[in-house]
Amino acid sequence: MLVILANDCGSSLTRNIVQVGADRAELLLMPPPLLEVQRESIDSYKASRQSSPEPQDEAWVEFGGQSYMVGFLAQKELGARFNPKDIKYENAIRKILAAVGAIAVSKGLPYRFELALGSLLPRKEYEHREFFHRGLSQALADFSFCDKSFSVSLEKFLCRPEGGGLVWSRSRHLGDAFRRMTIVTLMFGYRDVSIEVVERGVSSGESVPLGLLWLLKRVQSRTSALEEQPLLEAIHQAGDKIKPKQFKPLARSRDPDFQAEEAAQIAEAVRLSRQEYWSRIAEWLRSVLPPRIDEVVIGGGTASYLRPELQAYFRGIPISWAAELEEDVRRVFNISAAENHFCLRLADVYGLYRCLRQQVSPSRLELVAQD
């Protein structure tokens, strides 16, 4: 039995694209929190639950003598939150185990099966890909998901830095011309912003902690104890058209006059922080961009928030938004036009899935379909 899994353990959402045998590709999305727990905490949860959630919403994994709650369960049961200081590739091992386990349970897979895995790592952690590969192979060989044991053989492993799915897709589209061009790929995430420059087929890159989290922290420093997720959603929805009424639901006062004043204060904090945020981004771009650029490929969820500034900054240079994969993502996964920004967030891992899928022999999938 062969499973194809493309994974991106993003700071705001774990994105998985799954194909079991010759079936169609599917999305498996999980919140990012992860928490190591004692076995007693799992037993306590099991004793108190009154329903049977979907496997991805009730995920705990155990391996190497350690236990972890993952995703929605960690968030809901123990109030776990994403920690931007965590090493991503270490947490990715636990999150991939949870995704593989959820797939196995929902699809009724046997105790043993084979996995072709593609995963995206932050540019600054890409040098650890051998540790990541070794740790994954060992963990997959003997783990349990929700008290069901599995032994999964990692038959193929494809690791790329964030943006790698877009680079591969663009190289396929441009063909031989890709090796004669200077292509800049920019990924705007929640925690980091990264760049990959490919000049005549030779790549280099770096990342800096200038994701949307930077802006969020600046706004919070200027306002009073606003919750992160509602504030993040309001900032994203407002975009560059910032008005007090957009932030009125965040106001804590019950008095209408004080509510209006508080909303105006939040809006002003967002306006000023956005200006500072773009100034930092622009300063970084000036320091890392090559003197000659033939095309810019831009991806990541934060890119949609900064689209007006990025379009103005790169005026005169062709921009490939998400390597032209947004429409493919929308069609394959039936995503509504109202969620256009979501297609942008999925494009990189979808490009990685297509790259991985191409490297799997069709005969392997046909044989699986007959099992």
pLDDT in tens, 116-155: 999 999 888 888 899 999 999 999 999 999 999 999 999 9
d(CA 236, CA 277): 14
Confidence class of residue 358 from pLDDT cuts 50, 70 and 90? very high
- pLDDT (tens digit per residue) in 283-308: 999 999 999 999 999 999 899 999 99
Supply the DSSP symbol for 6: E
Mean pLDDT of 260-277: 94
d(CA 352, CA 167): 9
For residue 207, report the phi and psi dihedrals to the nearest 5 degrees.
-140, 155
pLDDT at 176: 92
Q: Which positions ≥6 away from 175 have C-beta within 8 Å? A: none
pLDDT at 58: 95
d(CA 273, CA 276): 5
d(CA 75, CA 229): 13
Asked whether 367 and 61 are in contact (CB, 8 A), the reply is no
- 182 or 258: which leads in pLDDT: 182
| Domains in the chain: boundaries | 2-161+350-370, 165-324
Asked whether 126 and 14 are in contact (CB, 8 A), the reply is no
Supply the DSSP symbol for 41: H
d(CA 37, CA 69): 7
Shared fold status for 2-161+350-370 and 165-324: yes
d(CA 353, CA 347): 10
Largest interatomic CA distance in the chain: 68
- Residue 341's alpha-carbon distances to 117, 257, 307, 367, in angstroms, are 25, 34, 11, 37
- pLDDT (tens digit per residue) in 15-51: 999 999 888 999 999 999 999 999 999 999 999 888 8
Q: Which positions ≥6 away from 126 have C-beta within 8 Å? A: 159, 160, 161
- Whether 280 has a pLDDT exceeding 60, the answer reads yes
d(CA 348, CA 279): 26
- Whether 350 has a pLDDT exceeding 50, the answer reads yes
- pLDDT (tens digit per residue) in 148-159: 999 999 999 999
- Whether 339 has a pLDDT exceeding 80, the answer reads no
Mean pLDDT of 223-251: 89
Mean of the per-residue pLDDT values for the chain?
91
Match 């900054």 to its residue by tokens.
313
- Whether 79 has a pLDDT exceeding 50, the answer reads yes
d(CA 228, CA 219): 10
- Whether 1 has a pLDDT exceeding 80, the answer reads no
CATH class of 165-324: alpha beta
Supply the DSSP symbol for 119: E
Tokens of 189: 């995430």
- Whether 217 has a pLDDT exceeding 50, the answer reads yes
Its pTM stands at 0.91
Q: Which helix (H) or strand (E) holds 110?
A: none
- Whether 92 has a pLDDT exceeding 70, the answer reads yes
Strands 182-188 and 193-199: antiparallel
Confidence class of residue 370 from pLDDT cuts 50, 70 and 90? very low
pLDDT at 368: 44
- Whether 369 has a pLDDT exceeding 60, the answer reads no
CATH class of 2-161+350-370: alpha beta
* % of the chain surpassing 70 pLDDT: 98
Burial label, 371 (beta-carbon count in 10 A; 0-12, 13-18, 19+): exposed
Asked whether 323 and 297 are in contact (CB, 8 A), the reply is yes
- Whether 225 has a pLDDT exceeding 90, the answer reads no
- Whether 341 has a pLDDT exceeding 50, the answer reads yes
Q: Which positions ≥6 away from 240 have C-beta within 8 Å? A: 274, 308, 309
